[in-house]
Amino acid sequence: MSPAAAAASFPVIDFSPFFTTGGGENEVEKEEVINSIREACSDYGFFVAVNHGIPAEAMDRSLEMAHEFFDRPSEEKLKCTPPTSDTPVTTGYAKQPDHSPNKNEYFLMFEPASAFNVYPTSPAPFRGAVDEIYGGLLAMARLIESLMNRCLGVPEGLMEKFNDDRQWDIMTAFRYFAAAELETPDKKTGLYGHKDVNLMTLVLQDQVGGLEFQKDGEWIPITPIPHSLVVNVGDIIQVLSNNKFKSVNHKVNSPQGRDRHSFAFAYLIGFEKMVEPLAEVMKESKEEPKFSKFRYKDYFQLRVADLFNPPANLDDAVTINHYAIPPTVAAAAAPAN
């Protein structure tokens, strides 16, 4: 483990057992990784992945391309808008409106094969670089999903089978604007505090810093570890796991002095899927369901409405608790064993 990883005040998980060949020893190491994922997802709701199999050069290239693209004049960036916005979120380039608490601009895409994607024509290597990093992030999300499946002790392949529609996964390249010296601290939000409306998010960030996660009321800064990925549990895994895994609050502070760049890959489920705690998880733990059943699309739409039009008081934003079932009097009164 690197000194930076050893000094981190958040879980850092080394995925190399999944990317090196080895005998039986490798199986033991893989099991250790799975245990670390289980602990991180239930205690923190996130972890940092190192040695995850995505080539460092591909990560550097995509950040470089994002830099070059965002440095282009506004008129040029604004040409990167789609002919239709008849999609769950709009692809291409956009800048957050001035009244938004989110101080960033971004480029958004679905899977590389999607007809809805629009790419800038310059820099010319942009498309190749972002399509490549998309592939790497998706492969990593699929691996983590299969390991979470094992963490939850449900039948092999259950989560993968439930999650069989890849067309609306979203990758966003962000540029967070450096805060102006005179800005008041409450205005210095690159991205306001939120929980993710998906299964999980994988973030590739540059070395500037600013991403923070909340644990027990405290904000933990995710000091960048070169070529790592930040992975966090989204609301849908929290529901499927019946609260075993937590989707936690996180935000991006506006960086000081220089802009910050990142890529966030949001691993979604099919919009028509009905979501509720997995029967297999409850069978295993003999617990009552903690959420009522809902259609993913309905929740997604509520959340996206808030994201693009944040309520005056951000505490009024919709969260997954919208579907939480309060513990029954009987369950609350039952003696803990």
Instruction: Tell me which of Fe ion, ligand AKG, none is bound by residue 203, counting a contact when its beta carbon lies within the kind-specific cut-off of 5 to 8 angstroms.
Output: ligand AKG
What's the closest the beta carbon of residue 254 comes to ligand AKG, in angstroms? 12
Residue 191 within binding range of ligand AKG, rule CB under 6 A:
yes
What are the DSSP E strand ranges found in 114-249?
Answer: 170-176, 189-194, 200-205, 211-215, 218-221, 229-233
Number of residues that bind Fe ion (CB under 5 A): 1
What's the closest the beta carbon of residue 23 comes to ligand AKG, in angstroms? 38
State which of residues 173, 203, 225, 248 lies at the interface with ligand AKG (CB under 6 A). Answer: 203
**206 contact partners, CB below 8 Å, separation of at least 6:** 63, 224, 260, 261, 262
State which of residues 109, 141, 252, 268 lies at the interface with ligand AKG (CB under 6 A). Answer: 252
Residue with tokens 């601290």: 185
The stretch near ligand AKG (CB under 6 A) out of 6-14, 28-36, 40-48, 199-207 is: 199-207
E strand or H helix that includes residue 295: strand 294-295
Considering only residues 65 to 124 of the shown chain, the ones binding ligand AKG according to CB under 6 A are none
Residue number of the CB closest to ligand AKG reads 264
Residue 196 within binding range of Fe ion, rule CB under 5 A:
yes
Q: Are strands 211-215 and 104-109 parallel, antiparallel or unpaired?
A: unpaired
d(CA 53, CA 159): 22
Residue 247 within binding range of ligand AKG, rule CB under 6 A:
no
176, 190 in Cβ contact below 8 A?
A: yes
The stretch near ligand AKG (CB under 6 A) out of 80-88, 91-99, 178-186, 200-208 is: 200-208
d(CA 248, CA 78): 33
Contact residues for Fe ion, defined by CB under 5 A: 196
